[in-house]
Amino acid sequence: AVGYSMTSMMDPKAAISIDRLGGLYGQLPAFLAPQLRMLFEALLADEGPLVFNCSAGQDRTGFTSAMVLSALRTPRDVILADYHLSTTYRRPEWEMPKISPAVAESDPTAAFFAKMQAGPARKPTPLVDAQGKALLLYALEAVEQKYGSVEAYLDKALGVDAADIAKLRAMYLE
């Protein structure tokens, strides 16, 4: 298990809106780079099976899945279709145990999630912005804007070079 704080990425006092989520997705490539390095090291070392997840299994998990699938040459439309399955299969009521008031008082991120738990039962919302653009595309566009391609991001930000990608493809594709 690899823990980390989302505090640097999220303002627990701010409301989460679809418009704001696009900006948060744009930060995922930099924010998750340390965890992605570890994941790719484990994949390359054949330390599987591996499990990765986040609180809802869609945002951070979706980007991570997109990076693995991209390394394996999965077409972007297939990656996006897989990502959108999160809306279909997500069950917010199973995502985390009830947060105690004492924990919520001492931790701003816990307070943020406790507030969400106290509200009406949540239903998964489609992972698109107000114009219908997949939120995952904000992260992929951030990668392409800064690095030019997913492969260049894997190499420069994660240390997963062309030889590593070839090894992953040999290991995990039929």
pLDDT digits (tens, 9 = 90+) for 131-170: 999 999 999 999 999 999 999 999 999 999 999 999 999 9
3-state secondary structure of 133: coil
Between 132 and 117, residue with greater pLDDT: 132
Model confidence band, residue 90 (pLDDT cutoffs 50, 70, 90): confident
Q: What percent of the chain has pLDDT over 90?
A: 49
User: CA 41, CA 67: separation in Å to the nearest integer?
Assistant: 13
pLDDT recorded at residue 91: 76
User: CA 66, CA 82: separation in Å to the nearest integer?
Assistant: 9
